[in-house]
Amino acid sequence: MSERAVAVKPKEDPWEMALKQYNRVADVLNLKRGIREFLAYPRRELTVNFPVKMDDGSVHVFTGHRVHHSTVLGPTKGGIRYHPDVTLNEVRALAMWMSWKCSVVGLPYGGAKGGVVCDHKKLSMAEMERLTRRYTTEITPILSAEGDIPAPDVGTTPQVMAWIMDTYSMHKGYSVPAVVTGKPINIGGSYGRVEATGRGCMITAREACKHLDLNLNGATVAVQGYGNVGSIAAYLLHDLGAKVIAVSDTSGGIYNPKGLDPRAVLRHKDQTKSVKGFPGTEAVTNEELLEIPCDILVPSALEGQINGDNAGRLKTRLIVEGANGPTSPEADEILRERGIMVLPDILANAGGVIVSYFEWVQGLQQFFWTEEDVNRNLEAIMVRSFNQVMAVAQERKADMRTAAYIRAVSRVADALMTRGIYP
Ligand code: GLU
């Protein structure tokens, strides 16, 4: 094992978390030393510092990254994040998680991720466009429809994907819709992509309830993060009869033990920019939200929210990881001991990249599917993947994260053995 792959980093550093999760399963699988080390490193990393003209005439230099973790299963795939807390280590972790995510659900992709350190909420649309076009230009050497395909993540939208597609296409001299997914429908986006991550969370939660003997009809749900993942998971679970009792966003949370109407909360958020102040609710903090007694907890915000400090106090039966990396390895241990089922991010939130795959295939073929086709195929892959992971969990008497990692890492390791090492 290389020093780098086992290096001790500050607590809750996402890359340290990702390496701990990986090393744990590499031990279980008894991976050969060379393979183990190969997969512990990102394949390539690009950091760019680039200027953007701001609306007031000043020039700001921004830092961005694009990391390809693994190209073993195919082209690399993964979103681009705009957030003030983006770091190279975070992007590395997110790229590695994408490799395992694509692997566990059987997609022909390796993992990648990108990020720009910026306070996206403070940028105007025009600044966001100039930042996106320049960042795209800077990372163009490692982007392509055959090699590395970005998508939305925290802080980026279908409009941002449209600018990426347009910038890349302008440089090529012809339109390349398959270079990015999560695009608006009118330029080659896929039906169902916006809802896909939340829909996948709903599907895995529904399947897990069958195993937990938990009746989803009337089950109480708390959702941390009311963005593209959390809000959609909330209303789709509500549609199945679940009672969404608490939700939150960056400004705080709201709680009503009698249940909320998730679509009305979404309308309130659209109008006021926050879930706070929704009529008939009590205000709670993001930390309090996680500890509210509920049957299903859906952390859909950022990494490390469930950690060694609060894992012992959660009062839930099922955690569905809408976010990437919301649970630290230390918390995982506590939850395992407490018998709380965790549906890991690489499985629970894979709906997004699955429909990104459908969008990529549609873009390459210039043959487009109906929303029904998309949702039917998404449902089939999510249910199949859930059942495969559950089968490993039962066979090995392991928790769902360990089982998902066993499937994900061994698929990549097997492909690596088959391909061999060049030269
Ligand atoms: N950013 C999303 C994720 O973390 C989607 C990635 C994609 O569609 O390529 O899974």
Q: Encode burial over 170-199: b for 16+ CB neighbours within 10 A, e otherwise.
A: eeeeeebbbbbbbbeeeebbbbbbbbbbbb
- Closest by alpha carbon to 322, among 248, 408, 227, 189? 227
CATH of domain 195-348: 3.40.50.720
- Closest by alpha carbon to 106, among 416, 407, 390? 407
Please give the radius of gyration of the chain, using alpha carbons only, rounded to the nearest integer.
Answer: 20
| Range 42-175 classified under CATH 3.40.50.10860 | yes
Q: What is the rounded CA–CA span in Å between residue 249 and residue 416? A: 41
- Closest by alpha carbon to 178, among 360, 365, 369, 374? 360
The finding on whether 151 has its CB within 6 A of some atom of ligand 1 is yes
- Give the single-character DSSP code of 190: P
Chain centre to alpha carbon of residue 5: 23
The pLDDT value given to residue 2: 37
Q: What is the rounded CA–CA span in Å between residue 270 and residue 57? A: 30
The three-class DSSP label of residue 245 is strand
CATH 3.40.50.10860 in the chain, residue ranges: 42-175
Q: What is the rounded CA–CA span in Å between residue 314 and residue 317? A: 9
Report the predicted TM-score, pTM, of the whole model to 2 decimal places: 0.96
Q: What is the rounded CA–CA span in Å between residue 387 and residue 381? A: 10
Q: What is the rounded CA–CA span in Å between residue 381 and residue 268? A: 33
The pLDDT profile of the chain, 423 residues, written as one tens digit per residue, is: 333 443 333 458 999 999 999 999 999 999 999 999 999 999 999 999 999 999 999 999 999 999 999 999 999 999 999 999 999 999 999 999 999 999 999 999 999 999 999 999 999 999 999 999 999 999 999 999 999 999 999 999 999 999 999 999 999 999 999 999 999 999 999 999 999 999 999 999 999 999 999 999 999 999 999 999 999 999 999 999 999 999 999 999 999 999 999 999 999 999 999 999 999 999 999 999 999 999 999 999 999 999 999 999 999 999 999 999 999 999 999 999 999 999 999 999 999 999 999 999 999 999 999 999 999 999 999 999 999 999 999 999 999 999 999 999 999 999 999 999 999
Residue 102 and residue 77 in contact, taking contact as beta carbons nearer than 8 Å: yes
Angle at 247 between CA 246 and CA 248, to 5 degrees: 135
What residue type is 17 in one-letter code?
M
The pLDDT value given to residue 225: 97
Residues designated catalytic: 113
Residue 301 and residue 286 in contact, taking contact as beta carbons nearer than 8 Å: yes
The finding on whether 317 has its CB within 6 A of some atom of ligand 1 is no
The finding on whether 190 has its CB within 6 A of some atom of ligand 1 is no
The pLDDT value given to residue 11: 53
CATH 3.40.50.720 in the chain, residue ranges: 195-348
Q: Counting atoms of ligand 1 from 1, which one is nearest the CA of 78?
A: 9
Residue 65 and residue 101 in contact, taking contact as beta carbons nearer than 8 Å: no
Residue 129 and residue 57 in contact, taking contact as beta carbons nearer than 8 Å: no
The finding on whether 228 has its CB within 6 A of some atom of ligand 1 is no
Contacts of 390 (CB under 8 A, 6+ apart): 207, 211, 400, 403
Structure token pair of residue 281: 């609710």
The pLDDT value given to residue 153: 97
Q: Return the residue whose CA atom lies nearest to atom 9 of ligand 1.
A: 78
Chain centre to alpha carbon of residue 409: 18
State the distance from the centre of ligand 1 to the C-alpha of 98, rounded, in angstroms: 7
Q: Counting atoms of ligand 1 from 1, which one is nearest the CA of 355?
A: 8
